Amino acid sequence: MPRTALTVGTCHAEPGQITYGSFEGPSLPTGGSDSLAVIMAQGKEDGPVLWLTANIHGNEVCGIPVIHRLLTAELCAHLRGTIVAMPTLNPSGLRTHRRHPYYDDRDPNRTFPGLRRETGEPREPTVYERLTARLLEAIRGSASYYVDLHTASILSVPFSIRDRVLYRKESEKAAAVALSEQLDEMTAAFGFPVVMEYRVGGYVAKELHRSTTGAALQELRLPAFTVELGPHTIVDERNVGAAIIGLRNLLRWAQMLGGEPEVMPALPRPATRQRLRREDGPYPPAAGILDYRVKPGDTLAAGGVMADLCDLWGRPVGDGVIRVQAESWVIGLEDGILAYPGAAIAHVAVIEDSPTVDVWPA
């Protein structure tokens, strides 16, 4: 018999069944609260617990049908262990088609417990900091693995983001290396192209250690990663199908499901087999209108032209082109055609040259 009473919010796991409930969300001044829907699928046999969440950015909807379609009676009948799923971590953003909840102007995916940027001023935890602190405790109490589903810009490829594992004391290093290896295996089992997060300085400066899977990895030492499912706002059917196959293969890797891995449909892949890291850029030298010369999934050689840059009259600005510095796999173009100095025009993956396990910056 499964290990009992796994409960998240009002949702109680039942062996061999899909069960439904909710996790208390921010209370609303108009009454009620923005509760988070919880779905559990528990096998008849005891096993690990996979947490699966989506839509913490309210306009990133593609993960919702992934969860709905993955959790079937058929899956439940063959499952070992339990899947705890939350289709949205941001109901207000989902309703308003906005990335952020309207009652907290911070990026909700930077509000989980973790080292806070010091402002020198004490402050009250925000609405989302209160919610995500409780959420992380629920994850701590039950999860063996965690996957969070996102989307990126309108023109973007599907990929997994894998954080580097940070540690503080030398005595923690061996466990950090083991966790990092487990994360490599888990992302490989999922099967999307894997891109490392920003270098450690940028990672902490952007507070990515306070994201869903960043906090689970760094605070709870839990194998956890984020999936990007292509364009925001719409549901890309190919990416939904690929993610469901990837998740079933991940369940097989975790010994929560039997059978041979299913074949992943063809996805855009980088030209290199070397480890890649995500970076923002390139940056335009001046304001203007972009005319991209590449599409997501293309690889550009060092110095290659990403876009033409002209003014609104169509005349070249500067030398008329924006180039990448290093060899780059194009993972996403920014929405729109506007160039501003200081605003990256794309997101790329470059060859990783920093360690996958690293010490926290001082």
User: Which residues bind to Zn ion, rule: CB under 5 A?
Assistant: 57, 60, 150
Give the nearer residue to Zn ion in terms of CB position, either 150 or 164: 150
Give the nearer residue to Zn ion in terms of CB position, either 57 or 277: 57
Report in angstroms how near the CB of residue 226 gets to Zn ion at its nearest: 8
Dist CA 251 CA 244 (whole Å)? 11
Give the nearer residue to Zn ion in terms of CB position, either 60 or 197: 60
Rounded to the nearest 10 degrees, how much is the dihedral formed by the CA atoms of 151, 109, 79, 251? 60
CB 182 within 8 A of CB 148: no
Report in angstroms how near the CB of residue 320 gets to Zn ion at its nearest: 33
Report in angstroms how near the CB of residue 148 gets to Zn ion at its nearest: 8
Report in angstroms how near the CB of residue 227 gets to Zn ion at its nearest: 10
Place of tokens 């439940």: 76
Report in angstroms how near the CB of residue 109 gets to Zn ion at its nearest: 6
Closest-approach residue to Zn ion (CB): 150
Give the nearer residue to Zn ion in terms of CB position, either 60 or 334: 60
Name 352's Cβ contacts closer than 8 Å, sequence gap at least 6: 196, 274, 275, 276, 277
Rounded to 10°, the helix 237-253/63-70 angle is 50
Give the nearer residue to Zn ion in terms of CB position, either 57 or 248: 57
Neighbours of 74 (CB within 10 A): 8
Report in angstroms how near the CB of residue 206 gets to Zn ion at its nearest: 13
Give the nearer residue to Zn ion in terms of CB position, either 109 or 328: 109
Give the nearer residue to Zn ion in terms of CB position, either 57 or 110: 57
- Rounded alpha-carbon distances, angstroms, from residue 335 to 156, 171, 198, 226, 299: 10, 45, 21, 21, 19
CB 240 within 8 A of CB 54: no
* CA 192 centroid distance within chain: 12
* 229 beta partners: 158
Dist CA 13 CA 40 (whole Å)? 6
Tell me, what amino acid is at 203? Y
Report in angstroms how near the CB of residue 56 gets to Zn ion at its nearest: 7
